[in-house]
Structure 1
Amino acid sequence: MISVMIVEDDPMVMEINSKFLKRVEGFTLYKAVSNLDDAKKFISIKKPDLILLDVYLPKENGMDFLKWIRGKEIDIDVILITADKSIERIQEAFRYGVVDYLIKPFSFERFKEALIQFKGRYQKFKKSDVDVIEQKELDKLIASSNVSQNEDDFAKGLNKYTYRTIWDEIEKRNYEDFTAEELAEKLGIARVTVRRYLEYMEKENKIDKLVEYGKVGRPQHKYHKI
C-alpha cells in the first residue's frame, strides 16, 4: 500500500480528499494534518510515500514546505492541490519536483487519474530488481504519464480512463499472450471497444499483435506487451 499524508487546513476539503483517497485502490491515509509543524512532526515519525499538499495555509505556504522537503533531501513525492492557477506558481511547483498539480475544485476522476499515474510509476520502480533502466522502458513510463492529456488531445473516440483500465490489466499480465476477448470478459468492456484500444496501443509500440491460424475458422489475434 502507498502511504499518503494530506496537508490541508479546510476541514471540509480534508474530509473530501480523504474520502476520495479511500476510493482509489492501493493507497492508505497515513495522516491528515492542517499545518506544517504537524506535517514535519509526523514525517519525522514515519515518512509517507506521497503528500497531497495545499498551498495556502493560515500564515503558512505549502511551497515553503515543498522547498523544505527538497532542501532536506527527503525522498517523498508531492502532488500540489491549490486554487492558484498562476503560471508562475505552476512553473515553480514543477521546478521543485511535484508529480502533479490539481487546481481546486477538481473532480474525483481527475484526482483518481493523478493517483493511478503515480501508482504505476511508483510500483514500476519499487518492483525493479535492477539499479538502471533502459531508454525503452523509461519511455513507456513517460508515455503512461502522458495519458493525462485532455480528451481533445487524445486519440479521437478514445477515453483516457478506459485506456488506463485496459493498460493496467495488460501490465498485470506481464509479457504473457492474451486476446481482446479475454480482456473484454475480465474488464466488462465490449470486445469491439477493447480491440480499438489495442490497435491504438499497437501503433504506440506498446504491444505486439500475433496472428494464429487454426485448422478451421478465422485466424485468432493474440497480443503481448513489448
Structure 2
Amino acid sequence: MTTIRVLIVEDDRKIAEIQRRFVERLNDVELCGIAHSLEDARDLIDVMAPHLILLDIYFPDGNGLELLRELRAKDSGSDVILITAAKEVETLRSALRGGVFDYILKPLVFERLEEAVSRYRDHLRHLSGLVQVAQKEVDALLPRSSGEDPQPTRDERLPKGIDSITLDKIREVLSSGQHWSAEELGNAIGASRTTARRYLEFLVGKGELRAEVTYGSVGRPERRYHL
C-alpha cells in the first residue's frame, strides 16, 4: 500500500497545527504540505499531487467549495475531506455534488479523522486491486442510497464503513478458529487496527463472533475475538 500523501488547507494557523499533529499520528500517512490560502493550495496541489486534501470552506480569498469544483472539473486525482464549521444543509449538498469523500464538522476529533482516513485507505486498496468490476464491487465502493432498494441483492445491507469485500476477507481469516486481537487481524489483512476493530465489533453485534477480555503480562486488558 502506497503511503497516503495528505495536504492540509486551513487558514486558521492554530487549527492547521492541530490537524498537522493529528495527521502525523496516523499510520502510513505523509503530510506533504499546509496551505493557509486557496491560492497557496492550488500551487501545492499542482506540485505535490496529494492523494487526500483536508479542506476548510471559508477563506479570506474564496470558498473551499470553489476549489473542490475546480479539482473535479480538471479530473484531479486528489480526493477531498471537508473539515468545516459549516452546518448548512445546502453547503453539505454542494459538497456531495462536488464528490467530497467525507464531511467532518469542527471541532475536529482525532478518532473521527482516523476513521475517515482508514476508510479512504480501504477505498484506495480496493480500487488498486480491481481490473474489472461486478456490481458487488461497485456497491462496495460507492455510497448507497438511503431509499428503499426495489430489488435487494443476495448480500446483506451493510452499514456505513462496512463493505462486503473486506468483510469476506475477515471471515476467511477468522475461519482458522484462533483468537485474534484487532491489531493482529489488521496486520493479517493489511488494514489498520481501527478498521479491523470496526469489522470485528460489527460481527460481534451480528452474533457471528464472541469477544473476550484477556490480560497481558503487564495487566493491560485486550479484547480478543473468535468464532
Determine the C-alpha separation between the residues in 2 that align with 1:124 and 1:18. Answer: 27
In structure 2, do the counterparts of structure 1 residues 196 and 43 end up closer, same or farther at CA, with 3 Å as the change threshold?
A: closer
State the alpha-carbon separation in 2 of the partners of residues 21 and 84 from structure 1: 22
Give the C-alpha shift of residue 12 in structure 1. Answer: 0.6
State the partner residue of 2:203. 198
Higher Cα Rg, which structure: 1
Counterpart of 2:47, as a letter, is I
Q: What residue in structure 2 maps to residue 100 of structure 1?
A: 102
What TM-score do you get using the length of structure 1 for normalisation? 0.68
CA displacement, residues 77-109 of structure 1 (integer Å, 9 cap, x when unaligned): 000111000000001000000010011113211
Deviations 1:10-56 (A, max 9, x none): 11100101111111112110111111111111222221101000101
Q: Percent identity?
A: 34
User: Corresponding residue for 1:190?
Assistant: none
What letter matches 2:87 in structure 1?
A: K
Q: 1:196 to 1:106 in 2, by over 3 A?
A: closer
Q: In structure 1, how many angstroms separate the alpha carbons of the residues matched to 2:88 and 2:184?
A: 43
CA distance in 1, matches of 2:12, 2:62: 13
Q: Is the 8 A contact 1:117 1:144 kept in 2?
A: no
- For residues 176-221 of structure 1, what are the alpha-carbon distances to aligned partners after superposition, in whole Å with 9 as ceiling and x for unaligned? 443351347937xxxxxx9874354687xxx9xxxxxxxxxxxxxx
User: What amino acid does structure 2 have at the position aligned with 1:70?
Assistant: R
Please name the residue that 2:153 is paired with: none
Partner of 2:133: 133
Q: Secondary structure at the match of 1:147?
A: coil
Alignment coverage as a number of residue pairs: 181
Number of the residue aligned with 2:11: 9
Letter in 1 for 2:176: F
Identify the match of residue 161 of structure 2 among 122, 130, 147. Answer: 147
Please tell me whether residue 122 in structure 1 is matched to residue 131 in structure 2: no
Among candidates 62, 65, 77, match of residue 63 of structure 1: 65
Contact residue 65 and residue 95 of structure 2 kept, 8 A: yes
Q: Give the secondary structure class of the aligned counterpart of 1:24.
A: coil
Relative to total residues, which structure has the larger helix share, 1 or 2? 1
After superposition, the CA RMSD in angstroms is: 3.4
After superposition, the C-alpha distances for 1:110-131 in whole angstroms (9 at most, x for unaligned) are 11111111111112212x151x
| Mapped partners of 1:110, 1:4: distance in 2 | 16
What is the DSSP-based 3-state SS (H/G/I as helix, E as strand, rest coil) of the residue aligned with 1:146?
Answer: coil
2:54/2:81 contact within 8 Å kept: yes
Residues of 2 paired with 1:134 and 1:202: CA distance? 29
Long gaps (5+) in structure 1: 149-163, 188-193, 208-221
Q: What's the TM-score once normalised by structure 2's chain length?
A: 0.68
- Aligned to 1:101, the other structure's residue is in SS state strand
Is residue 51 of structure 2 the alignment partner of residue 49 of structure 1?
yes
